[in-house]
Amino acid sequence: MTSPEPEEPGLERLRRQDTRLDHYIDRYAARAHGMTASAIRALFAVANRPEVVSLAGGMPNITDLPLDVVGSVLNDLVLADGRRAMQYGSGQGEPMIREAICEVMRLENISAHPDDVMVSVGSQQGLDLLTRIFCNPGDVVICEAPSYVGALGVFRSYQCEVVHVAMDEQGLNPSALADALRALRRAGRTVKFLYTIPNHHNPAGVTQSLDRRLELLHLAERADLLVVEDNPYGLLGFEGEPIPALRSLNERQVIYLGSFSKTFAPGFRVGWVLAPHAVREKLVLAQEAATLCPPVFSQSAVAAYLANHDWRGQIKVFREMYRERRDAMITGLSSHMPAGTTWTYPQGGFFVWLTLPPGIDSHAMLPRAVTARVAYVPGTAFYADGFGSRHMRLSYCFPTPERIIEGTRRLGEVLEYEARMLEIFGTADEPESDRRALGPREAPGPDQP
């Protein structure tokens, strides 16, 4: 039934409203104050349209997943074990998936016992819980420059200060890290951990060499620096065997985050944390406070898939598919990018990191790109300190090779137009000097291809 309303309300009903259109405005925690709408992020709503070639999102391409196998596994799971799988479970995660996780980690030389593993709701939650148990507001987390937007969002939500440290073509630069640590300790700052993505970095596309990993760990030992290794892409390298994980080279100093999102499918939300006993105990308590337990059905589904399907073979299928897309991206960039543009050459994973010709601002250019029906993520999304406008991240994981090449063609035209603008109006101030409070809010959501 609808409420009765007068046809003509009349002047006597006119009372001034003084409102912010948010009844709870005075009740939010301080950490919520930065949660604002972003015009750039809103543009990614357009990226969903089929007319737009989106090179922005990081959605894995699971077209090659054998749905008949997955369907059969899920059907058997419900019929044979449904009452357990649909019930509450352990806050640490179910034993059979933790055993399977240890088998998966062995591919990257990690030797672990299932008791060392805690299952999380995606590795994103694992990172969130780690930050929750380690970081007080104002603590420093060291990240690569650039770093994963999802991680920056977690650190921001716990009011950490992020200090970025330079990378090169081999990943995190150890001497830059050493310099940063010295400066922070001189300033009396509390550094809680280093967050690093050693393999096929998101967004930079680079991989830490084995020598670099050893150097990094040596420094971490000397400085007693905790290292959080986030490794969703380690098994998606295109050449040779995976490089040993940091965790396999140092058990004491490294906490490891793993995920099935890219090697199986993200929708199940199954990740894990491999941590020393004392840390793990606290993580489990934090997990129980957050979710009671990670989803038992999802864990059971993933475990059943691993037990009943050639998952190693499936990863190979994914690798070849992503390699083809990487090649299309590199071909497209080589053909269509204007002079002065450079990019990383990823040996695996999903992403290429572009450096634009001087004066071009990827953040300011995105609306023009959307008009030209191509989307990317401006580099500013991957920095907590406002830098990154001379860069952009391009993903090749989801579109077809043909669409990837078309996307680079459109992007090339946009860059040429932008360069014309710069010629007309004079070279802009070096964008890196124009810091803005941007960062994680400027990226698309995970459900955007």
Partner 1 sequence: MADNGYLQTVIVLSGGLSHERDVSLRSGRRVSQALRSRGIEVVESDVDSTLLSRLTELTGSVVFPLLHGEAGEDGALREVFELMGVPFVGSVGSACRVAFDKSIATTVVGAADIRTPTQVALPYETFQELGAGVLVKALGDQIGFPMMIKPSRCGSALGCSKVTRAKELPAAMVGAYAYGSVAVIEEFVEGTEVTVAVVDRGDGPIALPAVEIRPDSGVYDYTARYTAGATRFLCPAEVIDSVTNACADLALQVHAVLGLRDLSRTDIIITPAGEPVFLEVNVAPGMTETSAVPLAIETAGWSLGKMCADLVHAAAARGGRSNPLRASIGARW
In the region spanning residues 364 to 423, those forming contacts with partner 1, defined by CB under 8 A, are: 364-368, 370-371, 420-422
Structure tokens belonging to residue 443: 């990226």
Shortest Cβ 379–partner 1 spacing (Å): 17
Shortest CB 323 distance to partner 1, Å: 32
Q: Are 29 and 357 in contact (CB under 8 A)?
A: no
Residue 163's beta-bridge partner residues?
142
> How many residues make contact with partner 1 (CB under 8 A)?
46
10 touches partner 1 (CB under 8 A): yes
Cα–Cα distance for residue pair 295/300, rounded to 1 Å: 9
- Give the E-state strand segments of 326-402 in sequence order: 342-343, 351-355, 374-375, 377-378, 391-395
Answer yes or no whether residue 425 interacts with partner 1 by CB under 8 A: yes
Which one, 25 or 29, has the nearer CB to partner 1? 25
Main-chain phi, psi angles of 394, to 5 degrees: -115, 135
Q: Is 49 or 84 the residue whose CB approaches partner 1 more closely? A: 49
Amino acid 223 reads: A
Q: Shortest distance, CB of residue 442 to partner 1, whole angstroms? A: 12
Nearest distance from C-beta of residue 329 to partner 1, angstroms: 24
Contact call for residue 317 and partner 1 (CB under 8 A): no
Nearer to partner 1, 198 or 439 (CB): 439
- In terms of phi and psi (left: phi > 0; alpha: psi -120 to 50; beta: otherwise), the region of 358 is beta
Q: Does 429 bind partner 1 (CB under 8 A)?
A: yes
Nearer CB in complex with partner 1: 258/444 = 444
- Bridge partners, residue 194, by sequence: 142, 227
The length of the chain is 449
**What is the token pair recorded at 144?**
């690569």
Query: Phi, psi (5° rounding) for residue 148?
Result: -65, 130
Instruction: Find the binding residues for partner 1 in span 255-284 (CB under 8 A).
Output: none
Q: For residue 144, give the 3-state DSSP assignment.
A: strand
2 near partner 1, rule: CB under 8 A: yes
d(CA 137, CA 152) in angstroms, rounded, equals 14
Single out the segment in contact with partner 1 by CB under 8 A; choices: 10-18, 123-131, 249-257, 300-308. Answer: 10-18
Question: Which CB, 290 or 421, lies closer to partner 1?
Answer: 421
Q: Which is nearer to partner 1, 142 or 366 (CB)?
A: 366
Q: Which of residues 32-61 bind partner 1 (CB under 8 A)?
A: 35-39, 42-43, 45-46, 49, 51-52
- What distances in angstroms separate CA 120 from CA 3, 66, 125, 275, one per listed residue? 47, 25, 6, 12
Chain residues binding partner 1 by CB under 8 A are 1-3, 5-6, 9-10, 13-22, 24-25, 35-39, 42-43, 45-46, 49, 51-52, 364-368, 370-371, 420-422, 424-426, 428-429
